[in-house]
Amino acid sequence: MTTPNIDKLYIESPELFPRNVAVTLDGNRRWSKSKGLHETEGHRVSLENLRGIITRAGELGIKTITFWVFSHENFSREKSFLDSAFKLAREYLNKKKYFEDITKMGGKLGVIGDLSLFPKDIGQKMRELVSKSNPVEQKIAVNFALGYGGRDEMVRAFKRMVSDKVSPEEVTEEKIYTYLDMQEDIDLMIRTGARKRTSGLYIYQAAYAELYFTDILCPDFTVEEFDKAIFDFTTRQRNFGR
């Protein structure tokens, strides 16, 4: 698909563009295997690509973007993969410039999911980075989904509602939102890697999200590919069931 001048389109019709985007970063291990590389090298390339995508998202008026980096279910993978993934996580968490770059471009860091599932040092470092992320002028909220599962998010939300003694009369759609990791509707969900499923990302928030699936494996999901997804969204007619 040839993407037209999307910058010109945004200037002329900004209302056509999504405000809240979620991206499932799938296909990293398959990419690594196809190139004879260590299985986490695809994740490294994808992480490097994210800064460009975040910058582009801000340019196109996107106010919130979530990257699903590590799922709740990923913890059931073999120990060798988990050890390598945690090693890569520690490497990037100690790359001061990586997160400074995101802050400089107006990105406010956030985390969704259950950080308690990770080794303590990883969870602690991520919380520190989030607390210190204070851009001079926030342009976009950048969320990393870590230890995230859609069903787990709902379970955690319902447990907090029970703990807070929320009565049946108080339960509304708006009330449920206040207990979720993400408290806004998702406009566009993108999944790389040729798998055509949501895998439970934002079960509640994505009820009317537009879905975009691409065969491109995550390490090859560049800014240009991101533009294709955004342009595709602008062509869709959204009536929310009306």
- The pLDDT assigned to 96 comes to 86
Residue 1 clears pLDDT 60, i.e. is over it:
no
Given the residues 26, 114, 152, 187, the one annotated as active site: 26
Over the stretch 75-110, which tens digit does the pLDDT of each residue have? 999 999 999 999 999 999 998 889 999 998 899 999
H or E element at residue 78? none
Extract the tokens encoding 205: 């928030």
Average pLDDT value for the chain = 94
Number of H helices, E strands in the chain: 9, 6
Residue 4 clears pLDDT 80, i.e. is over it:
no
Confidence of residue 68 (pLDDT cuts 50, 70, 90): very high
Q: Return phi, psi of residue 109, to 5°.
A: -75, 145
Between CA 34 and CA 26 the distance in angstroms is 14
- The pLDDT assigned to 238 comes to 79
H or E element at residue 213? strand 210-213
Percent of the chain at pLDDT > 90 equals 90
Q: Does domain 16-149+185-229 have CATH number 3.40.50.300?
A: no
Answer yes or no: 220 catalytic.
no
Answer yes or no: 74 catalytic.
yes
Between CA 111 and CA 143 the distance in angstroms is 5
Given the residues 74, 220, 227, 232, the one annotated as active site: 74
Confidence of residue 158 (pLDDT cuts 50, 70, 90): very high
